[in-house]
With several copies, the nearest count.
Chain A
Amino acid sequence: MSGRETDALQRAVEATLFAAEQPMRVEALAAHLGDADSAAIRHALANLAAHYAPRGVHLVERDKRWHFETAPDLAYLLRRTSEHVRRLSRAATEVLAIIAYHEPVSRAEIESIRGVQTAKGTLDVLLEADWVRIAGRREVPGRPVIYATTPEFLDHFGLASRKDLPGIDELRATGLLDPVDDAYDALMGENSGDAPAEHGDIDEYDQID
Chain B
Amino acid sequence: MSEQELMFMQESSGADADWINPGSAPDGDTALYLELDGWEGPLDLLLDLARRQKVDLRAISILALVDQYLDYVDRAEALRLELAADYLVMAAWLAYLKSSLLLPKDEQEDPSPEELALRLQLRLQRLGAMREAAARLMARNRIGRDVFLRGKPEGLRIDRQTQWQCDWYALVQGYGQVKVRTAPVVHMVRNRPVMTLESALDRVSSMLGVTLDWIALEEFLPAYAEPRLRRSALASSFVAALELARIGKAEIAQDSIFGPLRLRRIVP
Contact = CB atoms under 8 A, between A and B. Distances in A.
A159 B140 contact: yes
Contact of B149 (A67, A172, A196): A67
B155 A78 contact: yes
A39 to B, nearest CB: 22
Contact of B40 (A18, A69, A96, A116): A116
Contact of B154 (A69, A87, A116, A177): A69
A199 B160 contact: no
A68 interface: yes
A161 interface: no
A151 interface: no
Interface residues on B, range: 35 or more
Given A196-B184, A209-B24, A100 B137 contact: yes
Interface in A60-112: 67-72, 75, 77-88, 90-94, 96-98, 100-101
B119 interface: yes
Contacts, number: 296
Nearest to B179: A168
Interface residues of A, number: 75
A30 interface: no
26 contacts: A15-B148, A18-B150, A19-B156, A20-B152, A20-B156, A70-B147, A70-B154, A71-B147, A80-B159, A82-B158, A83-B162, A83-B163, A87-B166, A88-B170, A93-B171, A97-B171, A100-B175, A115-B42, A167-B136, A172-B176, A176-B169, A177-B129, A181-B180, A194-B186, A196-B186, A205-B128
